[in-house]
Amino acid sequence: MHNKLSIGRMAKLRNVTVDTLRHYDRIGLLKPYLTDPDSGYRYYSIYQYEVLGTIKELKKVGFSLEEIKDFLTNRNVKKSVQLLRKSIGNIEDKIQELQEIRDILTTRLSNIEDFTNHYLDSDIIIKQLEERKYIQLEKPVGWEDQENLYLGILELENMIGGAIPALASNIFGDFIKKEYFNELRHTSDLSHQISTYQSQLFILVQNEEPVIPTLKLEKGLYVCSYYGGVVREKMLAQFKKLLRYIDTHGYQIIGDAVRIMQVDISLTDQYDEAFYEIQIPIKEPSK
C-alpha cells in the first residue's frame, strides 16, 4: 500500500509513544491498517494520522478512551455536533478549575508578600484582623508528636477539599491556651513546656463550603510577631517576648493565642525560612 507507516514512524509523527499505539490496538481504539503475519510488525496508513490526531484532541479536552472509541464508531455529523458541544463544556469546566487555582496561588503570593512587608520595621506589630472561620481538629496534638501533627494537617485539608493542596498557604494553625500564659511568663525551663503541651490544630475556611459546622475567630486587635524555623524553643522564646510587650504597654489579653503557619517548608529547603506568626487578641488599655 502507499504511504505505509511503521508504528515507530507513526508514533514520532504524532508525538506519542509506541506503547500508546500498541495499547490503542489492544483495546480496539486504533488498529493498524496492516499487521505483517510473519513478523508481526504493525503498519499504519497515512489516513490514520488524522484519526490519531482526533484521539489526542479528545483526550486533551477530557474524554475517556471508551467515549472516544464510541465516537469513532460510525461517525456522522450529528454525533460530531454532540461531541463538539460536550467538548466545549469540558473546556469550560477546565477553565473554571484553572481560574480557581490561579486565584488560590495569587492569594498565597499576596499573603507571603504582605506577611514579609508587615515586619519590615519591627518584629512586633498590632494588627486589626477581620472575623475568620475555621474547622478544628477534635483531638489535640502534642508539640513533639510530629507524626500526628502532619496527619492532623492532612485530615484538616481533606475536610475542606479544594482544587490544590492547601500547604504553602496561611490557613493552618493551632491555639495556645490563655491559661498557659502565666506559667510561660515565669518559667525558664522551656523544654518542659515543649514536652508536655498539647495544642488544638485548625484550618481557616476561606472560599470552601465544608460539610461540618465552622467556628470563628472574633475580629479585633491582635499583638503579633513571628519566628523562623521549626524549633519549638524559638516559638516559646518569641512568645515570652510578646507577653512582655503586652504587659509593658498595658494591653489586656482577651482570648487564646493563635499560631499561623505563614510560610511552610514546602516553599523552602531552609528551615529558618519557614515562618510562623503568633497572634494574641488584646484590648487596648483604658484611657
Burial track 147-180 (b if 16+ CB lie within 10 A, e otherwise): ebeeebbebbbebbebbeebbbbbbbbbbbeeeb
Of 60 and 207, more confident: 60
Comparing 35-44, 47-56, 191-200, 277-286, the range with the smallest average pLDDT is 191-200
Please determine, for residue 194, whether its predicted confidence score (pLDDT) is greater than 80.
no
Would you say residue 255 lies in a domain? yes
Distance separating alpha carbons of residues 204 and 221, to the nearest angstrom: 18
- Helix 48-60 crosses helix 65-72 at what angle (to 10 degrees)? 140
The torsion defined by the Cα of 144, 175, 231 and 244, in degrees rounded to 10, comes to: -130
Last residue of a domain, one of 13, 40, 75: 75
Q: 38 and 130 in one domain?
A: no
Residue 111, in any domain of the structure: no
Arithmetic mean of pLDDT, 17-25:
95
Q: Looking at the structure, do residues 190 and 128 belong to the same domain, yes or no?
A: yes
Is 137 contained in some domain?
Answer: yes
Do 241 and 139 reside in the same domain of the chain?
yes
In a domain, 96, yes or no: no
The reply to whether 133 and 226 lie within a common domain is yes
CATH number at residue 60: 1.10.1660.10
- The conformation of residue 120, written as its DSSP 8-state character, comes to S
| Of 3-7, 149-153, 259-263, minimum mean pLDDT range | 149-153
The pLDDT of residue 140: 81
For 30: left if phi > 0, alpha if psi spans -120 to 50, otherwise beta; the answer is: beta
On whether both 166 and 247 belong to a single domain, the answer is yes
Residues spanned by the domain of 22: 4-75
Residue 100 lies in a domain: no
On whether residue 83 sits in a domain, the answer given is no
Q: Find the range with the poorest average confidence among 200-204, 245-249, 266-270.
A: 266-270
52 shares its domain with 171: no
> What confidence category does residue 176 fall into, taking pLDDT thresholds of 50, 70 and 90?
confident
Choosing from 17, 51, 75, the residue where a domain stops is 75
Structurally, the chain folds into a number of domains equal to 2
Q: How confident is the model at residue 1 (pLDDT cuts 50, 70, 90)?
A: very low
Q: What is the average pLDDT across 182-206?
A: 72
| Same domain flag for 271 and 197 | yes
Is 183 part of a structural domain of the chain? yes
pLDDT above 70 (res 208): no
Do 173 and 277 belong together in one domain?
Answer: yes
pLDDT at 188: 66
Helices (H), 61-215: 65-72, 77-118, 146-160, 181-186, 190-196
Interval 228-260: pLDDT, tens:
876 677 888 899 999 999 999 999 999 999 999
- Per-residue pLDDT at 161 exceeds 70: no
Instruction: Looking at the structure, tell me whether residues 42 and 170 fall in a common domain.
Output: no
- Residues 238 and 136 both lie in one domain: yes
The confidence score (pLDDT) of residue 31 equals: 92
> How far apart (Å, rounded) are the C-alpha atoms in residues 204 and 107?
14
Residues 260, 161: one domain? yes
Name, of 187-191, 195-199, 257-261, the range with top average pLDDT.
257-261
Proportion of the chain above pLDDT 70, given as a percent? 84
In a domain, 224, yes or no: yes
Q: Please compute the mean of the pLDDT values over residues 210-223 and round it to a whole number.
A: 88
As a whole number, mean pLDDT of residues 6-34 equals: 93
Are 271 and 159 part of one and the same domain?
yes
Here the CATH number for the domain that contains residue 142 is: 3.20.80.10
* CA-wise closest residue to 280 among 243, 247, 244, 250: 243
